[in-house]
Amino acid sequence: MEKAILGWESQGDSIREVHFGEELQWQALAQSYNSADLFAARKALVIKHFDKAHSASQKQLEDVFGQDNPQVGVFLSAEKFDGRSSFAKKLKEKGALQEFKLPYENQIPQWLMQRAKERYGRGLGNSEARLLQERVGGDLAELDHELEKLDTFLPKGAPITAKEIEEISSPVRVSLIWELQRLMGQREKTAALLTLRNLMDHGEEGFLIAMQLFRHFLRLLRIRLMLDQGAVEQEIIATLGLNSFIHVVKEKQIEQARKHPVKRLKAVLARLARLEWELKQGRYPNRFEVELAFAGMV
């Protein structure tokens, strides 16, 4: 979630200053707010991560920004903003506090489809959007950058396909994650452990690995349940929104699901959910303990 204070409507010549809450020096910012710029009639002060600024600095700036300056607009960005504070209440009264909610994880594919259509004039299916999300992650700026890259390389007006996403988009840590998912799904214990170590050598957090594996095994469980009910491959693809090129042909997820009985998949999911919580609580201080915990699921 982001909230911003909008102090003006941008027009004419203006200059922008960007500051960050983690390294904020409120005295310098106050001086900039109260002084005119030599090269522009108007000035925008953008403070990112305002919620990470020291509370004393926030309080000082609240007093500074309480004094109107029509030549300066202040834009604050924060994941959390205390709506109960007197500062927030005053801003709401002036209509100067705007809230922008980022889409939840399950809403990102829809956002991608809409973005591809409205900004780039491209068709993007739901399964392709989910594939792009899996490769790149949930950062909207990164996702939009990948859409822009795809738009640059594809013929004008052509839809975005899974094959092109795989060839053109830049995965963020996802290649090793996918390899680990595939190896654990195929129950190749030695190779899975080597990939896990490689992931952790690259700085991947254990609880994030557990989250990714949980999603993968949940999909395998859904596939297995449909297989046990007699569903054919095309029915499974359509019902679960699988991408036939990536999930079925390349990763062979339907074949993976056949290697695991329903009872085992449910047990792995329960263990992954528990492990994710334990890792977040710092229950495994030694790396070898984390590796053993994952190895026990293959």
Mind listing the pLDDT tens digit for each residue in 136-172? 777 787 788 889 889 988 888 899 998 888 778 765 5
Higher pLDDT, 258 or 175: 258
Distance of CA 270 to the CA centre of its chain: 24
Classify residue 124 by its DSSP letter: B
Q: What is the pLDDT of residues 41-78, one digit of tens each?
A: 788 888 888 888 888 888 888 888 878 888 888 888 87
pLDDT confidence of 178, banded at 50, 70, 90? confident
> In this structure, how many other beta carbons lie within 10 angstroms of the beta carbon of residue 161?
18
- Domains parsed from the chain with CATH numbers: 2-100 (3.40.50.300), 105-168 (1.10.8.60), 174-295 (1.20.272.10)
| Phi/psi of residue 246, nearest 5 degrees | -80, -55
Q: What is the pLDDT of residues 204-256, one digit of tens each?
A: 788 888 988 998 999 999 999 999 999 999 999 989 888 787 788 888 899 99
To the question of pTM greater than 0.75 for the whole model, the response is: no
Tell me the HSE value of 209 on the side-chain side, using a 13 A CA sphere. Answer: 29
Smallest CA-to-CA distance from 64 within 24, 95, 93, 100 is with: 24
Q: Where are the alpha helices (DSSP H) in 95-249?
A: 108-120, 126-136, 140-153, 162-168, 174-185, 189-201, 206-228, 233-240
What is the percent of the chain with per-residue pLDDT over 70, rounded to a whole number?
92
Tell me the HSE value of 62 on the side-chain side, using a 13 A CA sphere. Answer: 18
Please compute the mean of the pLDDT values over residues 22-37 and round it to a whole number: 85
Distances (CA, A) of 188 to 97, 123, 193, 218, 298: 53, 38, 9, 19, 7
Take residue 15 and report the two structure tokens written for it.
């200059």
> In this structure, how many other beta carbons lie within 10 angstroms of the beta carbon of residue 283?
13
